């Protein structure tokens, strides 16, 4: 089974800290085009799933171009399942206003959610201040399968309390 994993795409980011407005516009278009090329690659190589492990976008207000391009890529490729785990920069705006959420768009929640793909499972959880200290002790995996665990954040030895963007390696 072929799977693509990506994260921190930050599509539609302003990018004006180090780029001129025109350079930022060009770079944003390049990133969106690269997302489309990734999906084309998945089609060409019969990839079964694309895991987007956080920060697909960078802000609450997403341009119609960025939102519609990603939505159309998902909708136009029903043979690929897209597993989307929101990160600390993502907001609900990608899904807001959609009349239909494509069946091949699989979402994660604030509790563990597992998707079964035969002998492979994809399990993930969206971290927040309320679950970050308890999720590690509630993860259940099937020892008979290949288990993929999806999180979004920064790895640290110990996360401490209420640090949703920190993934505790010790825990």
> pLDDT tens for residues 95-153?
777 778 899 999 999 999 999 999 999 999 998 888 888 888 899 999 999 999 999 88
> How large is the average pLDDT for residues 142-166?
79
Q: How many CA atoms lie within 13 A of 53 on its CB side?
A: 18
Q: Is 79 helix (H, G, I), strand (E, B) or coil?
A: coil
Report the length, in residues, of the chain. 171
Check whether 41 has a pLDDT greater than 90.
Answer: yes
Count Cβ atoms below 10 Å from residue 53 Cβ, excluding itself: 21
Q: What is the pLDDT of residue 96?
A: 73
> What's this model's pTM, rounded to 2 decimal places?
0.89
Closest listed residue to residue 105, CA positions, set 163, 154, 34, 51: 51
């Amino acid at each position: 089974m072929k799977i693509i994993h990506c994260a921190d795409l930050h599509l539609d980011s302003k990018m004006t800290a180090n780029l001129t407005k025109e350079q930022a516009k060009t770079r944003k278009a390049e990133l969106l085009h690269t997302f489309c090329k990734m999906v084309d690659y998945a089609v060409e190589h019969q990839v079964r799933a694309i895991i987007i492990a956080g920060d697909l976008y960078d802000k609450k207000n997403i341009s119609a171009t960025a939102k519609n391009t990603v939505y159309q890529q998902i909708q136009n490729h029903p043979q690929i399942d897209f597993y989307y785990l929101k990160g600390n920069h993502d907001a609900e705006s990608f899904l807001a206003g959609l009349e239909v959420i494509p069946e091949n768009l699989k979402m994660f929640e604030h509790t563990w959610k597992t998707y079964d793909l035969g002998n492979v499972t994809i399990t993930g959880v969206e971290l927040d201040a309320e679950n970050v200290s308890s999720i590690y002790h509630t993860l259940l995996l099937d020892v008979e399968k290949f288990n993929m665990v999806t999180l979004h954040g920064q790895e640290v030895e110990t996360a401490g309390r209420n640090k949703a963007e920190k993934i505790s390696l010790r825990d």
